[in-house]
Chains A and B, each alone.
Chain A
Amino acid sequence: MSTGRKILLLHLGVLATLLIIQFALPPYHHTNVARIMVLAGYAIGYNVLLGYTGLMSLGHAMFFAAGMYGAGLPVYYLGVGAPAAFGIGIASGSALALVFGLMALRTSGPSFLIVSMMFGQAFFLATLYFNEITLGDQGFILSEKLAPLRFGGTALGFHEPAVKYNLALAIFAACLAASLALRLSAIGRVLIGIRENEERTRLLGYDSFKYKLVSLGISGALSAAAGAGYALLFSYVGSTFATILFSIYPLLWALLGGIGTVLGPLVGTALMFYLVDTVSGVTSSYLLFVGAALIALILWFPQGILGTARSRWLPWLP
């Protein structure tokens, strides 16, 4: 079997599995997996920037939240329909990412990290400052305002678990496909060149600023898609999602699953989600266990789970 074939089958297999297990999952896990899929879309967006391009950001929550507010505010105030709101959410996140990139990409390495964190914090504080519109950390609920999706005569309400699950799957599939296509494209190769050695890539005739900006735009768009999807599917918008914690989460998910692997973000998000879920059922100090898990990860799987799998057993894994 050719490598291209194997890659295609693996990713289609993952999506098919996610499609099928919804019929077997008990209700509690059904909702969890829907949530994981949307959040994995966010982690995929983060991974495009960190894993493929080598830029570590601590402000990504602003893109997730831009998607969330971009979708949520028009629904809440203007009664905009879900598809248009989703589109506005993605557009908000991408536009923010590009404007941010034009300024922040003058820096790199640790300076980029700091600058992204500052922008992220500024965004978070703005959501509090404009609390007459955003309702600050109290947030607002969309379920009353959001019209169901209509296909001919059938109405699909967002409160129905099956609708939630399959739309979450669609968002995840779109993010996964975009990430895989980017990874295998000529642009993806240039981004990896920049990650490995930016100076050398530039001397090969690539304008690295332009490529980093493209990468940031795609990363912002995917993060915003996840944010918009999260707002619409789980019906809540609030500034908690713009806090620095929500910038750190995708970093941890991507690290755990394997940065620079296409499926790593899904694996990392799912594991971390269930780790927190299981441990917090036992003790309130669940962060202690998360920390221990991360130390174990750094000690034994520094490349993350799929990163380690790739270097040990599956060299073809994208």
Chain B
Amino acid sequence: MAALAPLLATQALCKHFGGLAAVRDVSLEVGQGEIRAIIGPNGAGKTTLVGMICGRHAPSSGRIVYGGRDITRLRPSERLRLGIAYTFQVTSIFKGLSCYENVALPAQRPLMRGFAAHFAPGEAAIAERVRAALDAVGLGGLAGQRADELAYGHQRLLELSMALATEPRLLILDEPTQGLAEGEIASLCELLRRIARQATVLLIEHNMQVVLALAGRVTVMDAGEILAEGTPSEIEGHPAVQKAYLGR
């Protein structure tokens, strides 16, 4: 990994909520084009960690470097412009709007440069990006449907589509398979593999089958710290991991 400059690196990242250290001294490097999984028991600090990477939480200390640039103090919107997209653990779509409008909001963002483009960035260009993003997740036929009328699995796909519409370089997914049926999980894995050809994927996941099938490397967290890191097979065999997480 050392040969290639990592796309994302956190350096001694910490986050305290009051007296509680949710994340302690986490230094992590994610290479370009990698699918990286972060696993760990509930409360291990995974969501807090990616929250700091995408800018939802300000770190208590430490640095975040992305594409060779220190982004520790950038706002979420600025990070998004640099290509960091995030999907939420709990689905966060605009329930009252159509699928098209849901995806159009992120899709039009990069087109809104300059004063005139704020008013009319070109609906045709937006429509094209929306169609591409909806087609990518297989929701092309439901563009006019209200988001809250979609099945749960489709709502999660819609959220993924919203992230894709920003054309991310780093896609962060917080438990994307949660609440999905077997068949949906399989097609999601297929989809994520396809996405990973263009983007780096950072994945928080509980489903070990998914992690083993998708991830190039796995980072294990427990009690706010990195417990181990390695390829899926190394991780499976790691004694501390088995004890702390896999419960064997």
Contacts and interface: CB of A to CB of B under 8 A. Distances in A.
Interface of A: 181, 185-187, 189-190, 192-193, 196-197, 200-207
B120 interface: yes
Contacts of A207: 77
B96 interface: yes
Contact of A189 (B80, B96, B101): B101
Contact of A203 (B76, B81, B101, B121): B76
B105 interface: yes
A200 B94 CA distance: 8
B81 A192 contact: no
B56 interface: yes
A204 B97 contact: no
Q: Select the residue from A197, A200, A202, A204 with max chain B CB neighbours within 10 A.
A: A204
Contact of B109 (A185, A197, A206): A206
B77 A206 contact: yes
A72 B37 CA distance: 67
Contact of A185 (B92, B97, B111, B120): B120
B107 to A, nearest CB: 10
Interface in B94-136: 94-97, 101, 104-106, 108-109, 111-112, 117-121, 126
Contacts of B77: 202-207
B166 interface: yes
A48 to B, nearest CB: 14
B105 A193 contact: yes
Which 7 residue pairs are nearest across A and B when measured between Cβ atoms? A205-B80, A205-B77, A196-B94, A185-B119, A205-B109, A204-B106, A186-B121
A189 B94 contact: no
Given A186-B120, A201-B105, 6 more contacts: A185-B120, A192-B101, A203-B56, A204-B106, A205-B166, A207-B77
Nearest to B121: A186
A202 B112 CA distance: 15
A205 B94 contact: no
A201 B106 CA distance: 9
B132 to A, nearest CB: 17
A181 B118 CA distance: 12
Given A204-B80, A205-B109, A206-B109, A193 B119 contact: no
B86 interface: yes
Nearest to B101: A189
A189 B104 contact: yes
Contacts of B111: 186
Contact of A193 (B94, B112, B126): B94
B105 A204 contact: yes
Nearest to A201: B105
B163 to A, nearest CB: 10
B120 A197 contact: no
B127 to A, nearest CB: 12
A207 to B, nearest CB: 6
A62 to B, nearest CB: 27
Contact of A192 (B97, B108, B166): B97
A107 to B, nearest CB: 20
Nearest to A315: B144
B86 to A, nearest CB: 7
